[in-house]
Amino acid sequence: MDSPVVALRPVEDSDLDALFRQMSDPQSVWMAAFTPDDPGDRSAFDAHLARVRNSPGITMRAVTCDGRLAGSIASFVLDGQTEVTYWIDRAVWGRGIATRALALLLELVPVRPLHARAASDNTGSLQVLQKSGFTIVGTEISFAPGRNRDIEETILRLDAR
């Protein structure tokens, strides 16, 4: 079987319904853990995406797989550090799409170091980040709205190559 063709493109208005469905899927929300307080609030989602898409300090792209929308990926600055985040549709987990999308984003965003965070039990996401060169630099206990409790979060960093 051929590897899927993964690409990044700007997020379009026509992507918003599918992205909302992906980002409000209960199993995905639980796995991501660090989500909005109410992932099912469409008005809050639309307002957030409008801010993100129009912010010059944020690079956000739609992730496509074989030409179909598969998720989103972004870099943003928080507390002076550039971080990456991504959300891949649960229907296509395990196909290497996140790993390829992150590689493409790393080409697009030259800033180093880059930082990332994931729930410590989200082994899939941690594997994606480590395959991409991120190293674990610590953990902390943080409140995870997607689980409505404090959980351990793994902090990772990608230095210049």
Band of residue 4 on the pLDDT scale cut at 50, 70, 90: confident
* Cα of 132 vs its chain's centroid, Å: 14
Strands (E) across 1-121 are located at: 6-9, 59-65, 68-78, 81-88, 114-119
Read off the pLDDT of residues 24-77 as tens digits, 9 standing for 90 and up.
999 999 999 999 999 999 999 999 999 999 999 999 999 999 999 999 999 999
Residue 82: burial class (beta carbons within 10 Å; 0-12, 13-18, 19+): middle
Band of residue 86 on the pLDDT scale cut at 50, 70, 90: very high
What is the pLDDT at residue 158? Answer: 98
Give the rounded percent of residues in the chain with a pLDDT score beyond 90. Answer: 95
Rounded to an integer, what distance in angstroms lies between the CA atom of residue 61 and that of residue 33? Answer: 21
Rounded to an integer, what distance in angstroms lies between the CA atom of residue 59 and that of residue 75? Answer: 5
What are 106's two structure tokens?
A: 């790393």
Read off the pLDDT of residues 53-68 as tens digits, 9 standing for 90 and up.
999 999 999 999 999 9
Band of residue 161 on the pLDDT scale cut at 50, 70, 90: low
